[in-house]
């Protein structure tokens, strides 16, 4: 079995690529960085450090690396059974022309084997978004061939990969926990054999549970921690006042998810508590700045605060704690974060309420007033 993974950064090396190698795939990393590609091929291995008190180190080897878009890249793509990505949601559309060209080559070469493309990004239906971009670039015959031979499978991924440095720059630190849920119905041909992956018939529920529990809690911890001047996530989540507030925020988000999907409320509560315990790990060294970055994007309608608010309002559920989360995100300022500066400019020009409405898409007057109140308290 052969796999091609696009994006040899920390997520690629520390999670997706490592799991494919451990699942006995012949893996090729692809990246736009010539320097990174050369380093991977020169060293031929790197160490995965499990950042837990009883954590072990794993040597990751048996891979090759190519530059994305190179002739070698297209050759490896043509031979692949699985293609995965970990490049960020914003980079996916930029990949579309390269993917389209690679699929065209598979078609021209009369490739008889099926291919499944799985985008492992921190967003909703990332693979479907890539597919929409790619299909527009294909001729009719290739597009029809893709319908039969190529699966674009959405997924949900969850593993904390903090910013950590080691003597070997290729080494990666990760938490032990990992989750990779893949939409079974979008797979074409034989289901890929990936040890840690769970194939599901209800990916929407898995995606939303992850995004609006894990990411909502993570970002809330970061923004509340920034207000108190904490540098690390583990410091913020062990602050009693912040912990209680984050618990309330996640409880409101969880109630909305339970209303939509019919999750067992006790099971969802246990899941949420397990998430907060993951944040307590000091060995991860996960920084507030890393988690808090790009607050304008994270406040957008489909993401970590605005969506749970909209969902909760739909079911007439409480949003008081979520208002605190939105206020904290609007309050976030960092000289190194362009989006936080953009938020400051928007608030200065439009005032808080109009700014929140514009960024989040939320128009509920009572909620906006609650955000304004909490913002003024900060």
Per cent of the chain over pLDDT 70 is: 100
CA–CA separation, 280 and 274 (whole Å)? 10
276 pLDDT more than 90: yes
Query: Coil, strand or helix: which one is 61?
Result: strand
129: tokens are 């978004």
Q: What is the pLDDT of residue 128?
A: 97
Cβ proximity of 213 and 257 under 8 Å: yes
Mean confidence (pLDDT) of the chain: 96
> pLDDT-based confidence at 322, cuts 50/70/90?
very high
164 pLDDT more than 90: no
For residues 219-242, give the mean pLDDT: 98
Q: What is the pLDDT of residue 122?
A: 85
For residues 314-325, give the mean pLDDT: 98
Q: What is the pLDDT of residue 56?
A: 86
Cβ proximity of 142 and 104 under 8 Å: yes
CA–CA separation, 210 and 84 (whole Å)? 20
290 pLDDT more than 90: yes
Q: What are phi and psi of 287, to 5 degrees?
A: -90, 150
Q: What is the pLDDT of residue 163?
A: 82
For residues 284-313, give the mean pLDDT: 96
Q: What is the pLDDT of residue 123?
A: 82
Cβ proximity of 359 and 316 under 8 Å: no
Q: What is the pLDDT of residue 162?
A: 85
Q: What is the pLDDT of residue 53?
A: 83
- Non-local CB neighbours of 310 within 8 Å, separated by 6+ positions: 301, 361, 362
302: tokens are 């489909």
For residues 170-195, give the mean pLDDT: 95
For residues 287-307, give the mean pLDDT: 96
- C-alpha distance from residue 223 to each of 14, 219, 243, 263, 288 (Å): 26, 6, 12, 28, 8
Q: Identify any residues that bridge with 118 across adjacent strands, giving them in sequence order.
A: 84, 153
56: tokens are 């072990």
Cβ proximity of 132 and 95 under 8 Å: no
CA–CA separation, 236 and 287 (whole Å)? 10
Q: Would you tell me the crossing angle of helices 306-314 and 320-331 to the nearest 10 degrees?
A: 160
CA–CA separation, 300 and 359 (whole Å)? 6
CA–CA separation, 107 and 143 (whole Å)? 10
- C-alpha distance from residue 176 to each of 53, 81, 160, 281, 365 (Å): 11, 27, 9, 11, 43
Q: What is the pLDDT of residue 124?
A: 86
Cβ proximity of 220 and 242 under 8 Å: no
Q: What is the pLDDT of residue 288?
A: 97
Q: What is the pLDDT of residue 125?
A: 92
Q: What is the DSSP letter of 284?
A: G
CA–CA separation, 191 and 149 (whole Å)? 13
């Amino acid at each position: 079995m052969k796999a091609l993974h696009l994006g040899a950064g920390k997520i690629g090396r520390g999670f997706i690529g490592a799991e494919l190698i451990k699942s006995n795939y012949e893996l090729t990393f692809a990246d736009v960085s010539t320097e990174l590609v050369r380093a991977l091929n020169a060293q031929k291995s790197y160490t995965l450090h499990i950042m837990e008190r009883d954590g072990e180190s794993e040597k990751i080897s048996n891979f090759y690396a190519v530059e994305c878009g190179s002739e070698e890249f297209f050759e490896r793509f043509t031979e692949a059974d699985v293609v995965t990505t970990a490049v960020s949601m914003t980079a996916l559309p930029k990949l579309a022309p390269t993917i389209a060209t690679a699929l065209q080559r598979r078609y021209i070469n009369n490739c008889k084997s099926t291919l499944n493309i799985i985008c492992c990004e921190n967003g909703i239906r990332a693979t479907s978004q890539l597919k929409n971009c790619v299909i527009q670039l294909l001729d009719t015959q290739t597009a029809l061939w893709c319908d039969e031979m190529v699966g674009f499978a959405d997924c949900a991924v969850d593993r904390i990969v903090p910013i950590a440095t080691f003597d070997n720059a290729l080494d990666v630190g990760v938490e032990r926990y990992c989750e990779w849920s893949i939409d079974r119905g979008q797979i074409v041909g034989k289901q890929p054999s990936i040890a840690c992956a769970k194939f599901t018939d209800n990916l929407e529920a898995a995606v939303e549970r992850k995004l609006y529990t894990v990411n909502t809690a993570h970002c809330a911890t970061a923004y509340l921690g920034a207000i108190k001047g904490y540098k690390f996530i583990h410091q913020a989540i062990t602050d009693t006042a912040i912990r209680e507030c984050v618990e309330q925020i996640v409880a409101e988000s969880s109630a909305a998810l339970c209303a939509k999907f019919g999750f067992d409320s006790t099971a969802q509560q246990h899941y949420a508590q397990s998430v907060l315990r993951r944040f307590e790990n000091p060995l991860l060294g996960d920084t507030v700045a890393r988690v808090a970055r790009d607050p304008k994007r994270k406040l957008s309608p489909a993401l970590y605060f605005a969506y749970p608010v909209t969902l909760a309002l739909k079911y007439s559920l409480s949003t008081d704690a979520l208002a605190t989360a939105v206020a904290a995100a609007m309050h976030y300022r960092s000289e190194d974060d362009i989006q936080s500066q953009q938020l400051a400019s928007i608030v200065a020009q439009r005032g808080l309420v109009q700014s929140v409405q514009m960024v989040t898409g939320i128009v509920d007057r009572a909620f906006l007033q609650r955000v304004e109140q909490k913002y003024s308290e900060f």
